[in-house]
Structure 1
Amino acid sequence: MEYRRSRHGKTYCCIHSNARDFAKLGQLFLDNGKVGDQQILNTDFIEQMRTPTEKSENIYGMGLWINHDNPIKHYYFLGLQGQYIIMIPEQQYRYCKNRKLFQQPKMTEEDQTRSDSL
């Protein structure tokens, strides 16, 4: 909707999926970008994503939250609606949570106007 109106896409959001596919994404990162014998993502890029930045006080990489000061070192994707993909490399473990909204958020008058105009 936003793109059609302004021709500017959102580069920060909106992967709508199920927990099974999110788990596959987590496994892809645990396997350093490989699926079986095929390299899907560049390993250097994966490592850049998993490397915390100084500006974030070493808690955020490129799209990943990093928690290396925890006894169990892990990194994770965090979605806007409570989705998580948590990866624990030392244990080759991933955990996915795909929160379901039972109540839709209230629309503001501006949101309703935009929705009606599409």
Structure 2
Amino acid sequence: MVPSEITTEYRDGVALIRLEGEFDLTNADDVQDAVVATTAAGVVLDVTAVSYLDSSGIRAIDRGHRQLASEQRSLFIVSPPGTPSSWTFRVAGFGGDVVLETLEAALASALRTRIAS
């Protein structure tokens, strides 16, 4: 298995979580934990460097998304076209309002969320 890494930083009050490597049953809960551990109103999850994402990873992201929504917070996912995750998110039914093609677009959306709250 390819090593996986989760890093979190804050930019202008927006939480930016970057995933790298493979995410599956063995580490999916770590993704959800990272998402819900943030304190920002707007959270960006950058999966650009994810080489593999199975249904466990998708479920963990969806659970994190739902928990944030229940707290009136927002999650935006960066998944550029052509990346392994872009097809997965489309098939799983994540909409274009949540899954964005660039980090800049996701950060801008999350910043608007932060300002609105």
Q: Which structure has the greater CA radius of gyration?
A: 1
Structure with the largest fraction of strand: 2
Q: Establish whether TM, by shorter chain, passes 0.5.
A: no
Q: TM-score, normalised by structure 1?
A: 0.25
1 or 2 for the larger relative contact order (CA 8 Å, sep ≥6)?
2
